[in-house]
Structure 1
């Protein structure tokens, strides 16, 4: 599983690369566990001041691997995906996402926990939870309305239509749109700017901006996951997911 999630530490920056491009970076349970372990490492290592999460210039993540998801025998609350979103909600260092190509489900909702996000102009975002017979996750039912307003959040989370990078910029979901070939370098340049800021000033600024909603985010995540698991066990959702996983 290690080769599906790559990591590199250089100049106080931990770069995490999702590396399952033959499957559009669809995330397996073990990949989520690897991501959680790297986020834990970043929290514990004072040498790491910033984290960049990326795919490549054509793909970020197509979300959960549906076959892996359906074949799991564990409760969702015991799975790697829930562990990862909990880690995201509590993470305490600057996090930058570099997004290209498909950013589906968690590929979009994790951006709500990032401090900055850069997207290539080929990025396509999608939140298809209701279309799958499911409900929002990763506290997106709380964070997205705060960002874009309730009615727009309803449209994105319930109708689930895809939207492009320029729309994501207008919605304040990302900071900047760049050409695909400039994406990864742009994210690294921003990370390098951040680590030049005095470490305590960077950390305290980040805490003051982000900490206000951490407790409610954790509560919303827990409520969402209980509803998500209940919906996952309905005949409608099972039928949709099995059809798509073929």
Structure 2
């Protein structure tokens, strides 16, 4: 069963994470489906922009840890790594619609989106150090650019939860809206983009992000090296084992 669904309308591709019983935790199969959806956006000339969303109570609680731990080495063929590389190289706009928890990758993937809207019930967290791990998805480079070095250290190392207003202050999201208005707000913006000249939009995105792609890919490679080492450490294994016992 796939927990990633897609639908399209008037040039807008909507990608929905739908695994609420597990708080939309991302399995390796879900990463494959997310990548497939992004690749469909890239190759389909009828599609101009994509929206990624959960529902009004949860965006994603992050990785399915049990699935992730048994998923093998973090090589370039690993579903998570393929997804991250696809995010970095995407040439069409990606909008995030965030409500409820956005934990771990649920926050770091937002750093690769072109627009991010959050409901007033959104909660963000980067709990890598708490799990005995390190930043991923290029966040160790992107977040300091957004928030400044000391704030990035606070969010990535202390790993405490923060709300949508703070996320907006650090430059992670564009706007905070009422939860009941989230989907309609994002839909309106997505269709606004879809109605713009497509080549102009792609050129503009390219000018904004292309100069950073090579560096971000290098950062991701560096992060993965440390992440895999830490994932195999006894300290991390002990923390995650305690997590499952809870």
* TM-score, with length taken from structure 1: 0.97
Alpha-carbon separation, structure 1, partners of 2:228 and 2:46? 38
- The Cα shift of 1:183 comes to 0.9
Q: Do the aligned partners of 1:56 and 1:184 also contact (CA within 8 Å) in 2?
A: no
Provide the secondary structure at the position in 1 that maps to 2:165: helix
Q: 1:106 — aligned with what?
A: 105
- CA distance in 2 between partners of 1:68 and 1:204 (Å): 38
Residue of structure 2 in register with 1:189 after alignment: 188
**Equivalent residue number for residue 148 of structure 1:** 147
> How many corresponding residue pairs?
244
Which residue of 2 is the match for residue 177 of structure 1? 176
**Quick one: distance in 1 between partners of 2:11 and 2:122?**
28
Partner residue of 1:12? 11
For residues 137-174 of structure 1, the C-alpha deviation after alignment (integer angstroms, 9 at most, x for no partner) is 00000000011011110110000000000001111100
Deviation of 1:230 after TM superposition, in Å, equals 0.5
Q: Deviations over 1:100-159 (max 9, x none)?
A: 100000000001000000000000000001111100000000000011011110110000
Aligned match of 1:210: 209
Matched, 1:126 2:125: yes
Q: CA deviation at 1:245?
A: 2.3
1:229: which partner in 2?
A: 228
| Distance (Å, rounded) in 2 between the aligned partners of 1:226 and 1:39 | 25
**Matched residue SS, 1:207:** helix
| Runs of 4+ displaced beyond 6 Å | none
Q: Name the counterpart of 1:75.
A: 73
Q: CA deviation at 1:212?
A: 1.3
Match of residue 219 from structure 2 = 220
Counterpart in the other structure of 1:86 = 85
RMSD, aligned α-carbons: 0.9
Q: What's the CA shift for 1:217?
A: 0.6
Inter-partner Cα distance in structure 1 for 2:205 and 2:22: 34
Q: TM-score, normalised by structure 2?
A: 0.97
What are the ranges of 5 or more consecutive residues in structure 1 without an aligned counterpart? none
